[in-house]
Amino acid sequence: MGKVHRLSAELANQIAAGEVVERPASVVKELVENAIDAGASRVAIECELGGKKLIRVEDNGIGMDPEDAQLALDRHATSKISRSEDLAAILTLGFRGEALPSIASVSHLALRTRPAGAPGGTEIRVNGGTVSSVREVGAPTGTSIEVADLFYNLPARRKFLKSDGAESAQISKMVTQLALAYPEVGFTLTSAGRKVIECPPVRGLPDRFYQLYGERDDLVDVAKEAAGIRVFGLVAALAEQGPKRGPQNIFVNRRIVKDKTIAHAIIEAYSVSSVKERSPEVHLFIEMEPDQVDVNVHPTKAEVRFRNQSAVHEVVRRAGGAALGQGPAPELQLRGETVPAAQPVTMSFPGLLGGIYPNRWSPVPVRDTTVGMPASAAWTAPVVAEPRAASSDPSVPPAFAGQAEQPLQGAIGVRPMIPLGQFRDTFIIAIDDEGIAIIDQHVAHERVLFERVMQRLTDGRLESQLLLEPLVVELTASGCQVLLSRTAELDRFGFEVAEFGGNSLRLAAVPALLTPDESVAAVRALAEDLDGLERGTTVEEALKRIAALTACHAAVKANAPLTYEKMAHIIEELRRTAYSTICPHGRPVMLRLTRREIEKNFQRI
Ligand SMILES: Nc1ncnc2c1ncn2[C@@H]1O[C@H](COP(=O)(O)OP(=O)(O)O)[C@@H](O)[C@H]1O
Ligand SMILES: [Mg+2]
């Protein structure tokens, strides 16, 4: 007896602070989220010494009356939910009533606030969780919260903070993410007296994106809606050197999240359409009905749980895949505009950021910032596409059953086309009802073969062809070792390798797709790739690169005359592939001259 006692409110708050407030950027996140929940249209953030000395967040939201202001600093005090049913469909960013008391328990906090219409404002000062003064002050409508000397009373915690520069960078990243999610809100971030971010309110995401990142033609537009899940945003385009690496900003119902399911789906989208897919830059917004996602999982609300996780995975994967490869073939423009030979496909998608884009991205809801909490409901409402009856295809998740793959607006894919002939023995000229296509025969065939190789690998193994006379390949000692340690994987590719003595290997069988010479080249490349294993190459990546190499070697070459049958075959196969407009290395497969463009130039419209 007598050993168990209740923690003081102060200590309980400090413990909660341990979860909610990891670093200055988490304070910024909580305070800005409160401002957004309060319907602010402008939020100004100021920091000194990476937020360790001072963080100030000012908003023009609804403010608080004196009673609410005092209550807001109590643990588990919130205006955002009241019944347990509310937890099932949370429409605000906050709901736990923990942030303010937690932050106040580990800093010197000053809160100034005035609701619209009230004659005066309230100022409350708190030191390490203890209220030291409450008084009436003059204040503009809205709320200002100042957090000084974060963790001053928790030296162990303070020691864990990084340099001022590193903490400032975290804050900028956080504000950037919040600004991306709320284009209709204006943000400024001042750090050590310098304006770091300045984004006045704008109409929608494209404008906000431009404010933050400028013109980016190395990103492609994502837009897909299925099974009640809407995915939109921008992701790194495929490119010769692999997609651009960069921030992975992922939002679910406008909430910044870290989610393994989504991250995995993104990587998968890249891995089927490209040879190199490591940590691509993505800015992805996922929307669903609020009751389809549980946000009450983690104190910082950074993790969420999906009702239908596999549907989310599938829609994100398809959205990414479609964006990376299935977009319309780049359009050839006449009238003096030159089309460079091998530009990344993103170059001439007409109206990428201007035309289709704004319509596809949801317009930002008009919020009434004068009354109550923001109408988040209005914003989350528009996604509904009820899952239909179950399908017999086991590979189709139930949520997709009965839903045919809907082509995206503007994403034509490859229609049945009739080949007319070759241009310079390198390009196939083909027509359909909607225009004329110029197809790079090598790149197109490479795409087709890459898909086929990857498909067969997923299904089992590549067909192998026994050599009458085994080939001997001389390699480096480590190259030799590394291949011998992976004979089982090589076997899946149709390579039968064995030790030959010295640094040589004996090739008894090779993939049926390759000639013996090409097989030797592939084995050498594989040895080199796998040798770099310690430097981060995974077997799968190396194999995929080999798949691309295999495809590249086996594909028809440029400057090669083709029969009509061969041309028809390539076009038909291309039509079947899911990613038909980009080769595995990111080069465009075809250019199109649209019917409209032709008719316009002949003045027929
Ligand atoms: N910037 C603000 N403007 C208006 N009200 C605020 C603001 N910040 C906090 N509040 C009020 O204080 C309450 C407690 O805030 P907080 O501790 O962050 O919990 P939560 O956001 O989870 O409700 C909020 O529910 C809200 O009513
Ligand atoms: Mg909050």
Q: Whose CA is nearest to atom 24 of ligand 1?
A: 78
Whole-number pLDDT of residue 542: 67
Structural domain harbouring 259:
207-363+383-400
DSSP per position, 230-247: EEEEEEEPP-TT-SPB--
Ligand 1 neighbour 36 (Cβ under 6 A)? no
Q: Do residues 157 and 250 share a domain? A: no
Bigger pLDDT: 132 vs 415: 132
Q: Do residues 214 and 311 share a domain? A: yes
In the predicted structure, residue 354 carries a pLDDT above the cut 60: no
CA of 581 to the centre of ligand 2 (A): 46
Q: Which residue has the tokens 């299935």?
A: 326
Identify the bridge partners of residue 43 per DSSP, sorted by sequence position.
Answer: 59, 187
Ligand 1 neighbour 26 (Cβ under 6 A)? no
Q: Do residues 533 and 595 share a domain? A: yes
Q: What is the mean pLDDT of residues 199-224?
A: 91
CA dihedral 147, 148, 154, 159 (to 10 degrees): 110
Identify the bridge partners of residue 55 per DSSP, sorted by sequence position.
Answer: 47, 147
Residue 371 within a domain: no
| Rounded Cα–Cα distance for residues 96 and 46 (Å) | 25
Ligand closest to Cα of 33 equals 2
Q: Do residues 437 and 561 share a domain? A: yes
Q: Do residues 100 and 234 share a domain? A: no
Residues 225, 316: contact at Cβ < 8 Å?
no
Ligand 1 neighbour 35 (Cβ under 6 A)? yes
| Rounded Cα–Cα distance for residues 451 and 447 (Å) | 6
Bigger pLDDT: 220 vs 175: 175
pLDDT tier for residue 274 given thresholds of 50, 70 and 90:
low
Whole-number pLDDT of residue 149: 97
CA of 43 to the centre of ligand 1 (A): 15
The total of structural domains in the chain comes to 3
- Average pLDDT, whole number, for the chain? 80
Helix (H) or strand (E) holding 540, with range, is: helix 539-554
Ligand 1 site-directed mutation target among 13, 20, 26, 34, most atoms within 8 Å of CB: 34
Q: Do residues 198 and 211 share a domain? A: no
Domain of residue 267, CATH code: 3.30.230.10
Q: Do residues 422 and 516 share a domain? A: yes
Question: 248-252 and 282-287 as β-strands: parallel, antiparallel, unpaired?
Answer: parallel
Q: Give the tens place of pLDDT for each residue, 233-252.
A: 999 887 666 677 889 999 99
Read off φ and ψ for residue 88, nearest 5 degrees: -70, -25
Q: Do residues 238 and 185 share a domain? A: no
Q: Using the 3D structure, point to which of 373, 400, 427 is the last residue of a domain.
A: 400
Bigger pLDDT: 293 vs 548: 293
For residue 380, give the 3-state DSSP assignment: helix
Q: Do residues 121 and 100 share a domain? A: yes
DSSP 579: S
Q: Give the tens place of pLDDT for each residue, 567-591.
A: 998 888 888 775 566 666 667 788 8
CA of 485 to the centre of ligand 1 (A): 59
CA of 78 to the centre of ligand 2 (A): 8
| Rounded Cα–Cα distance for residues 373 and 65 (Å) | 15
For residue 466, give the 3-state DSSP assignment: strand
Q: Give the tens place of pLDDT for each residue, 370-391.
A: 333 333 322 222 222 333 333 3
Residue 538 within a domain: yes
Ligand 1 neighbour 64 (Cβ under 6 A)? yes
Whole-number pLDDT of residue 515: 77
pLDDT tier for residue 369 given thresholds of 50, 70 and 90:
very low
Residue 378 within a domain: no
| Rounded Cα–Cα distance for residues 231 and 226 (Å) | 9
Look up residue 593 and give its two tokens. 């001259």
Q: Do residues 294 and 229 share a domain? A: yes
Number of alpha carbons in the 13 Å side-chain half-sphere of residue 115:
12
Q: Which residues contact 83 (CB under 8 A, 6 or more apart)?
A: none
Residue 423 within a domain: yes
Whole-number pLDDT of residue 180: 97
| Rounded Cα–Cα distance for residues 143 and 43 (Å) | 10
Q: Which residues contact 247 (CB under 8 A, 6 or more apart)?
A: 173, 176, 281, 282, 283
Q: Using the 3D structure, point to which of 202, 225, 251 is the last residue of a domain.
A: 202
CA–CA–CA angle 3, 6, 10 (5° rounding): 130
Residue 510 within a domain: yes
Whole-number pLDDT of residue 307: 92
Look up residue 586 and give its two tokens. 């990111």
Look up residue 86 and give its two tokens. 């509310």
Q: Do residues 496 and 603 share a domain? A: yes
Read off φ and ψ for residue 492, nearest 5 degrees: -60, -30
pTM across the whole model: 0.65
| Rounded Cα–Cα distance for residues 541 and 212 (Å) | 33
Number of alpha carbons in the 13 Å side-chain half-sphere of residue 219:
24
Average the pLDDT over each of 39-48, 238-247, 334-343, 579-588 and give the range with the smallest value.
334-343
DSSP per position, 309-336: HHHHHHHHHHHHHIIIIISPPPBPP-TT
Ligand 1 neighbour 97 (Cβ under 6 A)? yes
Ligand 1 neighbour 99 (Cβ under 6 A)? yes
Q: Using the 3D structure, point to which of 183, 202, 221 is the last residue of a domain.
A: 202
| Rounded Cα–Cα distance for residues 375 and 39 (Å) | 9
In the predicted structure, residue 142 carries a pLDDT above the cut 90: yes
Q: Give the tens place of pLDDT for each residue, 303-325.
A: 899 999 999 999 998 898 888 87
Residue 114 within a domain: yes
Ligand 1 site-directed mutation target among 19, 27, 28, 37, most atoms within 8 Å of CB: 37
Whole-number pLDDT of residue 333: 52
Residue 4 within a domain: no
Residue 405 within a domain: no
Q: Do residues 304 and 223 share a domain? A: yes
Q: Which residue has the tokens 């008391």?
A: 101
Ligand 1 neighbour 168 (Cβ under 6 A)? no
